[in-house]
Amino acid sequence: MERVVKHLGLVDYEPTWRAMQALTDARTAGTADELWVLEHPAVYTLGLAGKEEHLLRRTEIPVVKTDRGGQVTYHGPGQLVVYLLVDFKRMDIGVRELVRRIEQAVIDTLAEAGIKANGDVNAPGVYVDGAKIASLGLRIKNGAVYHGLSFNVDMDLTPFGWINPCGYANLRVTRLKDLGVSWTVAETAKRLLPHIERHLAVTERTE
């Protein structure tokens, strides 16, 4: 079944999250998977297990308590967000393997720019020399995935300094621009999406 890709531009977090929930709740076996490609205005999101103490400073940036996994992270213009609305049952893999495949899509994209990156089994995401460049947060409900990944392209990283990113004190973050890569968010999406499609491809099983 073909996957639908929607380019939504700069959209507020909360209505986008509610739309993900609605699509997931309305899913049937015949519902196509969707990838939503977008940016968010400045917002902190706090995962299901998120602890308020990881917000180190109160600012004018809104805080939204959401239903993905993980702790606190920051979204803002210049960061590529890809939400994965996927029927997990079709993939016939475990959650850890799903996370690894999403991370690998980002790693492969960075490799196109000559950048060596890695995942971390204990702290999901993608890292370059120990600095986090992409974050993952997923929710699985009734066998379907929503939420997804954020990839720092050319954004203001200052607000990350006002939190413990993903619950880790003093975690360094980086962005493509600081690594000498001048891709726009749109260019980064164009390079990333084929890798996501490849790594999330459903292998049809024959009985």
136 is in an annotated binding site: yes
Axis-axis angle for helices 185-199, 95-112 (nearest 10): 130
71 is in an annotated binding site: yes
For residue 131, which of 101, 96, 161, 162 has the smallest C-alpha distance?
161
180 is in an annotated binding site: no
148 is in an annotated binding site: yes
149 is in an annotated binding site: yes
125 is in an annotated binding site: no
104 is in an annotated binding site: no
202 is in an annotated binding site: no
135 is in an annotated binding site: yes
69 is in an annotated binding site: yes
50 is in an annotated binding site: no
**Considering 91, 107, 166, 173, which one is annotated as catalytic?**
166
Q: Which amino acid is at 97?
A: E
CB 166 within 8 A of CB 132: yes
119 is in an annotated binding site: no
CB 60 within 8 A of CB 27: no
Catalytic: 202? no
> Binding site: what residues are annotated?
68-75, 135-137, 148-150
- The catalytic residue positions are 166
> Binding site for substrate: what residues are annotated?
68-75, 135-137, 148-150
